A and B are shown apart, each in its own frame.
Chain A
Amino acid sequence: MAHGYSGKILEVDLTARRHSLSDTDMKAAEQFLGGRGLGVKTLWARLPTAGTDALSPKNPLMFWPGPLSGLPLAGPSRVTIVTKAANTSPTEPSWPHASTLTWSSVGGHFGPALKQAGYDGLIIEGRADRPVVLVIDEHQVSLRDVGSLWGQPTSVALKQLHSDLGPDFRLLTIGPAGENGVRFAGIISDVKRTTARGGAGAVMGAKNLKAIAVRGAKTVSLHNPDGLRNLRSDIASLLANWNNYANWRRWGTAPLLLSADKAGMLTTRNYREGSWPAVDKLGLPTAEREFWVRHASCAFCPLKCVKTGQISYGPWRGTIAEGPGYSAAAMLGANCGANDFGDLMALIARADELGLDPIATGNVLGFVMDLCEQGLLSSADLDGLSPSWGHTPTLLQLMERIAKRQGVGAILAQGVKQAAAQFGPATVPFAMHVKGQELAGWNVPASHDFAIVYGTANRGGSHQDGASIQEQHRRTFLDALCVCRFVYGAVGTAPYQRALSLATGWNCDDATMLAVGERIWNLEKLFNSREGFRRIDDKLPARFNEITFRTGPKAGANFSAAKQDSLLDSYYDGRGWDKKTSLPTTEKLTALGLDKLVL
């Protein structure tokens, strides 16, 4: 008897409008756990050749909880979405539609609810002939026509679905951006958390799937329930004794804006500077004094980092928005030259409503304004709009155009890499991405670690993947368990290694944990290698080699091409990968038990 798993995966074929159950492969589960791990394992099996069009019915869109999901522990509150990415591409593609895989995870209650509904995973394939919502009420699974909800902003969809289905359903939905195939469209949860890296929202939209609702209260068998009960209190007291506990509950990630600015790690005006003089206007203390009205938490977590507020002044007074979390504030704030709190929150609110990735959107808008400033784009190229740093009304119009793919919005909706290819070679250096994935809210010249973080993340330009090989493996392990990064930051990995043992009966010492992480990381790498990604795709935009910060506490900081190469050399060495190509060696794959998959 497998503990910690329900043993069942829900498979939905939208084309045939049918659903079925498959058995969880417990041998794979022991090697890959769940979440990001079982996700990549399954993606590898379902897409046996390279070059699948991410927006085609063949691309499986998968939602993976993990073996700890649904247990009342602070931490494993997320669900990991795994699919083939809609927005990435290699430098030298050998076939159309070459792209990386992507995983992205979202907090809230959806993952725990999916597990409590009785599933170790949800795999969606095909394409519905008309827009639908997938409703999972434990074993009752149905597709309902969404009718007029198609085209509606995310808050309208969430509200309508909650009132139609009942307030104890947990929801994920896309907005107009996902429906219209914007390459950086996200999926938003009912606690207003967006999961967006890799364009999972576009994949969902291409399947004509507006939303997923899930409800459940089932349990799985557990190896040691009493132990888990005690561990729950241990995690609660570890958190309560964390020296940042009170701050975090009060402010969430908002203070990071101030500390990143001080460290010169902020992304200002398309990454050209690492600090931003108006930074104190974008987060604290304004958020707390005149914006936030309530704080919400993900399942079983006391940290309540989901901050909701209402703009209290100016043209957007009354607008309800979530945040400002660090990433959105850095990218839609400093990177877009915002210098007013209400402006920033209006941008964040619009991104959430349209279902756009706030990180990529801030990057795209910064790119456009940079090009305008350089004289490489003018209002003639931009449907008559003249965006300039901090001019929010124009940025809001651009966002609408992107989400609806109208006019220039259709070009920008492809992301900075493809947009630059269309705008002309002179614009290419200003596109700040890795593998086609827009870079996030942490700048590089004053913190070279991010060359590894952004460069080697298997989903392209992501800031969440860790700067050292070990850290990458620790985080990958946690992603396979759907554990939140913030809780991890507070209590470390040990409680979750222990939780895994108590839930499943499997041993999980440090070596096991790191081996799981390494196995997953290398299989992701294999997926990308098969699609044609090589060493050149792990490099940051060359513009970083030309930028020298001129202002702020880290004035003078830069990042040389030589440093870039030496960082990659030692990274590949450390991984046992070939330095020239970046491909994993046979010895490495054999050691990880992955050789049979490829050789």
Chain B
Amino acid sequence: MNRLTFSRRDFVLGAVAGTAAGAGIATALFNRKPPPDVASGNNSVFHTDRAGRITTPSFITVDQARCSGCRICEAECVLIREKSFDFWRSRVRLHRFEPSLDIVSLCAGCADAPCVSVCPPEAAALSRDSRTGAILLNESKCIGCQACIKACAKDRSAVIRISRDGKKALGLCDLCGGDPACVKACPEQCLSIVPANVDGKNMAASPAIIAGQVSRSVYRSERNN
């Protein structure tokens, strides 16, 4: 498993993907206090229990420039996590851009969780896992109102979508309970589970926005000889 706490690229991406870039960096780098909504764990050290599951609120971050677009993570999620071949249910989604780029999107567990805030109180289908920090969807409670879908689509990753029968939300990643299958399976090791002392919301953006940014760093209009 990749247990990078920070790579330079995460930092750069967080900086450009965040809505308030400057503030995002400062928080990420200098303020090691847990984000307000995340139940506190021991954030200074990265912990796993004996089953190899994380015990610190965390989220999965993507080194987008390194992703090969193989969709092995997508497959892993449906096969391991959903025990099915139904790709519609994968919580990781791949997107293709030109010039050649593959952009991964998955739930970033944003500290302010707009999806949780808009879930109607009579449903209360979304909650945060206090150990892993993941947003959990209780399918039996979900009334299919799509409020969370709209909230996530507005200015986060747009990973939440509606089930085929139109009745339930899906796409929220529960971090496999703390031992994420996709992270282990990625052949490029571009997925890492990192402690939520960086607010995932800085990484959350629509695939098109991320593609635009990554493209500028991967493909240069001018190069030094």
Contact = CB atoms under 8 A, between A and B. Distances in A.
Nearest to B187: A302
B17 interface: no
Contacts of B84: 219
Contact of A229 (B68, B79, B87, B211): B79
B98 A158 contact: yes
A322 interface: yes
Given A294-B218, A296-B68, A312-B223, A190 B85 contact: no
A584 interface: no
B71 A109 contact: yes
A300 B85 contact: no
A300 B87 contact: no
A116 B87 contact: yes
A406 B203 CA distance: 50
Contacts of A297: 68-70
Contacts, number: 105
Contacts of B65: 294
Interface in B59-88: 65-66, 68-72, 74-75, 78-79, 84-88
Interface string A289-314: 00001111111111010101010110
Contact of B100 (A222, A249, A308): A308
Nearest to A159: B98
Interface in B177-194: 187-188
Contacts of A313: 225
Given A217-B88, A232-B79, A297-B69, A308 B99 contact: yes
Interface residues of B, number: 39
B102 to A, nearest CB: 6
Interface stretch (B89-97, B126-134, B135-143): B89-97
A287 interface: no
Contact of B96 (A190, A228, A294): A190
Contacts of A312: 223, 225
Contacts of A232: 75, 79
Interface stretch (A162-170, A255-263, A575-583): A162-170
Interface string B201-213: 0000001100100
Contacts of A228: 85
Interface of A: 71-72, 109, 116, 155, 158-159, 162-163, 167-168, 170, 190-192, 217-219, 222, 225, 228-229, 232, 249, 293-302, 304, 306, 308, 310, 312-313, 317-318, 320, 322
Contacts of A217: 86-88
A304 B99 contact: no
B98 A155 contact: yes
Ranked nearest first, the 9 interchain pairs of A and B with the lowest CB-CB distance are A72-B75, A167-B95, A297-B70, A302-B187, A217-B88, A159-B98, A217-B87, A297-B68, A304-B68
A192 B103 contact: no
A297 B75 CA distance: 14
Contacts of A301: 70
Contact of A310 (B87, B188, B220): B220
B15 interface: no
Given A72-B74, A310-B220, 18 more contacts: A72-B72, A155-B98, A159-B98, A167-B96, A167-B97, A190-B98, A191-B100, A217-B87, A293-B218, A295-B68, A296-B100, A297-B69, A299-B71, A302-B68, A308-B100, A310-B223, A317-B223, A318-B222
B220 A296 contact: no
Nearest to B99: A320
A219 B207 CA distance: 25
B7 interface: no
A298 B87 CA distance: 16
A192 B100 contact: yes
A262 B146 CA distance: 62
Contacts of A71: 85
Contacts of B94: 168
B101 interface: yes
B219 interface: yes
A317 B99 CA distance: 16
B63 to A, nearest CB: 12
A163 B74 CA distance: 22
Contact of A167 (B78, B187, B211): B211
A249 B187 CA distance: 10
Which has the most chain A C-beta neighbours within 10 Å: B84, B103, B187, B220? B187
Contacts of B87: 116, 217, 219
13 contacts: A162-B98, A163-B208, A167-B103, A168-B95, A190-B96, A192-B100, A294-B100, A294-B218, A296-B102, A304-B187, A312-B225, A317-B223, A322-B100
A122 B15 CA distance: 45
A191 B93 CA distance: 17
Contact of B207 (A155, A167, A318): A167
Contacts of B69: 109, 191, 296-297
A293 B86 contact: no
A116 B78 CA distance: 14
Nearest to A226: B83
A203 B171 CA distance: 40
A300 B88 contact: no
Contacts of A191: 69, 96, 100
Contact of B79 (A72, A109, A298): A72
A187 B96 CA distance: 18
